[in-house]
Amino acid sequence: MLSLTRKSDYALVALTTMAGRVADTVSARDLAERHDLPLPLLRNILKQLAGAGLIISERGVTGGYQLARRPEQISLAELIDAIEGPTELTRCCGEHGRSATGESCSMESSCPIRRPIARVNGLIRNVLERLTLAHLNANTVPMNLEGLLGSNSSSRPQTFVACTCHERGERCDHSEDAVASPLPRGRTSNTEHFSPHS
């Protein structure tokens, strides 16, 4: 079963809270008390998020944490990558057909589902890259793929297939107009610098 870890869950809660208060700093203690989260674990999570460049910290009596970019510029994919690493349904869904830890699969040469599962993984990645903190904060997550990924004039389902052939160094036999390539990892459509006070 696909499931977010507790750390990712807490990270989502913390960042969505910050998304609703972009002009303010929020302390780890305030977040922990507001959402009944364990403070030591939350501090560790915030440190990871700061290390990934998703939040900035300010020291001092009135210090705390703020988003490093606007809510619409921080995707769920970035958050999950920062806490858990790359999205991989199976070991062969990582770059070059290997997991993030470098593991390969013994069925690699004969597996009948390798390419279909890679496309499913790419589609999930597409969704996570397009969902942002702004969607969560405003409760405006689209109810369907078309609302999130967009559609072309023919509204063909293939529009939403994420091709990963080139990532894997494989020859691609998909038509370009029928395949939606995923966004680069860790990137959203706009990555301009954000100052919470601007």
- pLDDT tens-digit series, residues 107-152: 877 888 888 888 888 888 999 999 999 999 999 888 877 777 764 4
Per-residue pLDDT tens over the stretch 33-74: 999 999 999 999 999 999 999 999 988 777 899 999 999 999
User: Has domain 6-67 been given CATH number 3.90.950.10?
Assistant: no
Higher pLDDT, residue 168 or 60: 60
How far apart, in whole angstroms, are the C-alpha atoms of residue 29 and residue 33?
6
Helix (H, G, I), strand (E, B) or coil at 28: helix
How far apart, in whole angstroms, are the C-alpha atoms of residue 57 and residue 128?
25
CA atoms within 13 A on the CB side of 117: 14
Higher pLDDT, residue 171 or 180: 171
Q: Which of 6-15, 42-51, 157-166 is least confident?
A: 157-166
What is the residue type of 140? T
Whether the model pTM is above 0.75: no
Quote the pLDDT of residue 107: 81
Quote the pLDDT of residue 53: 96
How far apart, in whole angstroms, are the C-alpha atoms of residue 169 and residue 148?
28
| Range list for CATH 1.10.10.10 in the chain | 6-67
The first and second tokens of residue 75, run together, are 């995707």
